[in-house]
Amino acid sequence: MEFPFRFAAAALAAFSLYSCNSTAKTESQELTVLDTQFGDATFYARNFQSGKTASGSKFDNRRALAAHRTYPFGTVVRVTNLENGRTVNVVIVDRGPYGKNRRKGAIIDLSRDAARALDMIEDGQVRVKLEVLTWGG
């Protein structure tokens, strides 16, 4: 009976150390902002679900994904809703916004999951700050 307890205790200790290291890494990445932009965010319509993105991947509204006109694919961006202070980290997988949203000041299109995290579904378009945490490519 002693072996399973020791094994469980060792596994818990190893997991705790791993968790501490990955948290510290995340915090240090968040302190280094590589680029900042201000503008408006919009979000994808439901009919884009499972469509092919410009990066070649399948679009999934249930993940924190986004489209940006110039950021490289795979770039991780922290998006802050300037109206309520909520933030979400997204990965750039597509190009956009285009059309009327771009003309109205949108600089990023978000998945519905990311828009929900920012509490912007009802508003449709909100003022945001973009902060690049890691460049893709």
Q: What is the pLDDT of residues 30-65, one digit of tens each?
A: 468 999 999 999 987 656 555 678 788 887 878 989
Higher pLDDT: 62 or 25? It is 62
**76, 136 contact by CB (below 8 A):** yes
pLDDT (0 to 100) of residue 53: 80
- pLDDT score, position 62: 84
Enumerate the H helices of 32-111 as residue ranges: 99-103
Torsion angles phi and psi, residue 21, rounded to 5: -65, -45
Higher pLDDT, residue 22 or 120: 120
pTM value > 0.75: no
Q: What is the pLDDT of residues 117-134, one digit of tens each?
A: 999 999 989 999 999 999
Contact 39, 107 (CB under 8 A): yes
Count how many Cα atoms sit within 13 Å of the Cα of residue 82 in the half-sphere of its side chain. 12
Q: What is the pLDDT of residues 63-121, one digit of tens each?
A: 989 999 999 999 999 999 999 999 999 999 999 887 765 567 899 999 999 999 999 99
- Residues facing residue 77 across a β-bridge: 90, 132
